[in-house]
Each structure stands twice: as structure tokens, then as C-alpha cells.
Amino acid sequence: MAKKTILFIFIFNFLFLFPINVLALGITPGRLGEFNFEPNMRVERNICIRNSIEGYFEVEMILRGDLTEYATLSEYYLVLAPKSMPGGGKCVNFVLQLPEKLEKPGRHQLWVWAGQVVGGPEGETMLGGRVEVGTDLKIYVPIPGKYIEADFTVDSREVGEIVTFTISAINRGNQTIESAQGAIDIYDQDRNKIAFVKTNIESMEPSVWTEFKAQWMANVEPGELLANATIDYDGFKTFLSKDFRVGSPTAKILNVTYEPIVNGTIGTIKTEVISYWSQRIENAYVTITAKRGSYSGSSQSPSMVLNPWKKAEFTNFWDTSDAPGPGEYQGIATLSYLNKTDTKEFTLRVIEKPGFVFPDVMWIIVVILIIIFVVLILLTVGRRRKKFKQVRLA
């Protein structure tokens, strides 16, 4: 009984209280900033916590990360009033006072978390999972030598338009980079290399962001492409990769499938299509045509909207009652959209109505064994009853 009670409390907590608590706390600002290290630097911020529910909320402030020994808060425990009352939001003062030197180069990250106090009075445990919201600060200590960190962005465009590749890079090292350049390999959907472009050449001072750009005319088939970028700087290399799309107002049939179609019944045929356009395509539909000799039957699906770069499935129903009979038919799927069409040929197979099918040998053996087992049980029970009657008569 105790286990069932605990399970009920857990389920109630998860389904009803947890979703409420998740929305109970908010924190601003969402980021405290990113800074390049300077000796004895000081960072000071106000961090505000808000209550988003109609109820009192106890909150403890927690510092986490590899700079906690240099950070302080003006308060570490808060009681937030309901959101509609004064005191539903409170602020604390955050101070980071760094030393003359940080030994470890690279990125240092410090988190300030506001967490729900889940312990009730006198050690009682409150229902509801612990809620935490946080904000972070990053300090970058220069790496000895030359070292690049970079972001790679690619603008998706239409066929025949210019695609722009942008590499935003920063020199995290403590030495100047004399010459840096990006080289970008472009691959099609089948990952065949189709183009190669280079960016501008730049020098890079320590802790300074630099932008590299290249352009390419997208005279290719629409689809999802891949760009691999290599930044070459004073004999060092950094590698980046990004998927991007080249679109056009086109859609294609990917696949046509159907379950076995029995002669004289209505068959279900499904057609999977994809849109290669960045806009919605309205009123698209699929027509299925089945041909055999002089026979030609067709079916049109309901109209659908094709969403940008998404797949969709159309359903057609083909009535075979007036078809010539079992056998193979030439199937043609035609996707109609924006006064355009795309077609795909396939084979439709119609089968005979199944008659009596003799059971599989294994199933026959299983049935026989079950019958033998039942008979043995009945014989055993009958013998025991007979012996029992004889004993009573004696």
C-alpha cells in the first residue's frame, strides 16, 4: 500500500506540479556578457529574479563554474511574493573581481543560478521538482601562440541566385596572425563536390573579430547542399561545416507505395513528395493512372499544401472492379502544383482473391500437440475420479 501511495504522489507531482514549477521562475539578464581577460578586472551586474505564479517562492542563489572563488552576490536567499504583489521580483548585486593572473588559458565560464528551495519547515519535503534558472558570464584568457575560434553561416537562396558564405573568426591566441584565408568546398545532395571558392585574406590581432566572405552563383539543381570551410592561418588550420539549401518553386515525387491490391477491390496508393521551395505551395495534388492494354483507370487525391522544404504524403484510391483482372499494370503518378507537374512511373500488381489456404505444416503440428495434451489431461482427470469413487465404495 505504501509503494502505491508513493507512486501516486510521484505521478501527481510529475503531471501537475512540475509543469507549473517550470514556469515559476524567470531571470534577467539572460547573459552577463563575454570578456577578454584583463588583470584585476571587475565585472558588476544586477541580476533580477521574478516569480510567475500566484504563491510565495523561496529561492537560493548558487554560483557554479571555474571562477566561483572570485565571485560574490549581495544575497543568497530570497523570498518572492506572488507575481501580482509587490516583491514578486527581487534583484541581487553580482560582482566578479579577477586576480592579477589566471593560469589556465582559454574560456572560463561562470553560472549564477536561482534555485527553488524544496525543503519545507522542520525538514518536511515539498511536492514538486526543484526549479533552476541561470545566467552565465564568459572570460577568455589568451592562448599562447595563434588560435582561431570561428562561426560559419550560409544564406539559403534560390536557384540562380548568389549564395554568401560568412566566417566570423576571432584570434584567441596572444600572437598576431599575419595571414588568414578561408577556402570553401561545396557539395551537392549526393555529397559530390561541385564548386570551390575562397574568401578574402586578412591579418588578425589578438582578441579581435574578423569577417571572411565568399560568394557563389547557385546554378544547380535545388536541394540541401553542404559547405566545408577550412581557415588557413600561418600554417595552422581550422575546419567548419554547414548545411544549406538552394531552392526553387519545384516539388518532386520521392516514392510510390501500396499494399497488395486484390482484384475487384479498392486499392490504396500512397505517394511521398518533397517541396524544394522556401514558400508554401497551395493546391497540390497527385493523380494515379493505371494502364494495361486498352484499359486506363485513374484516381485523383485531395488537394494539399506543401510546406517549405517538407515532405508530404498523398493518398489515392483505385477501384479495380472494372479493371481487366489480376496481373501487372503500368502505373503513373503525376504531381500537379503551380501549373507544373512531376511524374514517376511504377508497376501496379493486382492479385487474385485468396481462396482457402492450407495451414502451414508447423501450425498443423502445433494444433495436433495441443489436442494430444488436452486429451491426456482429460484421461488423467477421469482416472483419478474413478479411483476416488472406488476408494469411497471400499
Indicate whether 57 belongs to any domain: yes
Asked which of 218, 247, 276 is the last residue of a domain, the reply is 247
Identify whether residues 164 and 217 lie together within a single domain: yes
Domain count, the chain: 3
Same domain, 217 and 255: no
Q: What average pLDDT does range 59-76 have in this prediction?
A: 94
| pTM as predicted | 0.67
338 lies in a domain?
Answer: yes
Q: Can you give the pLDDT at residue 13?
A: 45
Q: Where are the alpha helices (DSSP H) in the chain?
A: 2-12, 18-22, 361-393
What band does 58 get if pLDDT is binned at 50, 70 and 90? confident
Does some domain include residue 177? yes
233, burial (CB in 10 Å: exposed 0-12, middle 13-18, buried 19+): buried
Greatest Cα pair distance, the chain, in angstroms, is 116
Q: Which three cell numbers stand for residue 292?
A: 494495361
Same-domain pairing of 219 and 239 = yes
Q: Do residues 227 and 258 both lie within one domain?
A: no
Same domain, 235 and 195: yes
Same domain, 281 and 242: no
Side-chain-facing half-sphere of 252: CA atoms under 13 Å: 9
Are 71 and 159 a contacting pair, CB within 8 Å? no
* CB-based contacts of 87, cutoff 8 Å, min separation 6: 79, 80, 81
156 in a domain, yes or no? yes
Q: Are 243 and 285 in a shared domain?
A: no
Is the domain of 66 the same as that of 155? no
Domain boundary pick from 193, 228, 247: 247
Pairwise pLDDT comparison (89 vs 205), residue with the higher score:
205
What percent of the chain shows pLDDT beyond 90? 69
Among 103, 121, 139, the domain boundary falls at 121
210 and 259 both lie in a single domain: no
The verdict on residue 387 lying in a domain is no
Does residue 175 sit within a domain? yes
Q: What is the CATH number of the domain that holds 274?
A: 2.60.40.10
Co-location of 213 and 255 in the same domain: no
User: Quick one: which of 122, 217, 123, 107 has its CA closest to 162?
Assistant: 217
User: What would the pLDDT profile of 284-338 be if each residue is shown by its tens digit?
Assistant: 999 999 999 999 999 999 999 999 999 999 999 999 999 999 999 999 999 999 9
Residue 50 lies in a domain: yes
Specify if 173 maps to a domain: yes
347 and 258 in one domain?
yes
Q: How far is CA 47 from CA 36, 74, 368, in A?
A: 21, 10, 78
Provide the grid cell at 198: 575562397
Contacts of 288 by beta carbon, 8 Å cutoff, 6+ apart: 269, 271, 298, 299, 300, 301, 316, 318, 331, 332, 333, 334
Q: Which domain holds residue 338?
A: 251-351
